[in-house]
Amino acid sequence: MTEQPVDPSGLVSRAVGGDVDAFEDLYRSSSGRVFGLCLRMCGNRSTAEELTQEAFIRAWEKLPTFRGDSAFSTWMHRLTVNVVLGHQRSQGRRRTRESAAGEEWYGDGSTSARRSGVAMDLERAIAALPDRARTVFVLHDVEGYKHTEIAQVAEMAVGTSKAQLSRARQLLRKALTS
């Protein structure tokens, strides 16, 4: 039995009809969750803020395609994941690989916490993961996606998703115990 989407205030249907005030209410009620998802996936506060705004701009543009088959929050979550993954793909094309022989690349390159021997908290450890490992970790262990779903949205093989999750967990254990 599938869960029917609930829109008790009619905000979604009003927003789909072009009601800007209703969309603003939807923004206010869901922007915190969208920002949290962006932050967990990209690991950078300012980038997460930009991606949150991009997700809502994209939502406004695509709102007429919202069929109501699922809850607005589910639709918004999927749209946000796609925005973040698209951003990561475009950044990956622009960024040159900065890895020396056998050395791991950690997100923004910030390793001062590890060098100083100070244990990092979980959020900082997640933020320090390489992009693909962080994406798979967040989608699988935090958001509850299955590897087949991750493979589809992240455009990777299921085996790659599993390998990235294993890599992320290993790097997190290392970061949290050092």
Residue 98 within a domain = no
Number of domains in the chain: 2
Asked if residue 125 and residue 82 are part of one domain, the reply reads: no
pLDDT in tens, 35-46: 999 999 988 899
User: In which domain, by residue range, is 163 found?
Assistant: 113-177
Residue 99 within a domain = no
What average pLDDT does the structure give for the chain?
Answer: 80
pLDDT at residue 122 in the model: 79
For the cut 50, the answer to whether the pLDDT of residue 120 exceeds it is no
Residue 102 within a domain = no
Residues in the chain: 178
Query: Of 93, 126, 142, which one is at a domain's C-terminal end?
Result: 93
Give the pLDDT band of residue 88 (cuts 50, 70, 90): confident
Residue 105 within a domain = no
Q: What whole-number percentage of the chain has pLDDT above 90?
A: 44
Give the pLDDT band of residue 157 (cuts 50, 70, 90): very high
Which amino acid is it at 139?
L
Q: Whole-model pTM?
A: 0.68
Q: What whole-number percentage of the chain has pLDDT above 70?
A: 79
List the CATH number of the domain containing 85.
1.10.1740.10
Secondary structure of residue 111 in the 3-state scheme: coil
Question: Among 175, 174, 84, which Cα is nearest to 131's?
Answer: 84
Asked if residue 83 and residue 123 are part of one domain, the reply reads: no
Asked if residue 27 and residue 78 are part of one domain, the reply reads: yes
List the CATH number of the domain containing 173.
1.10.10.10
DSSP one-letter string for 149-165: HHHHHHT--HHHHHHHH
Residue 2 within a domain = no
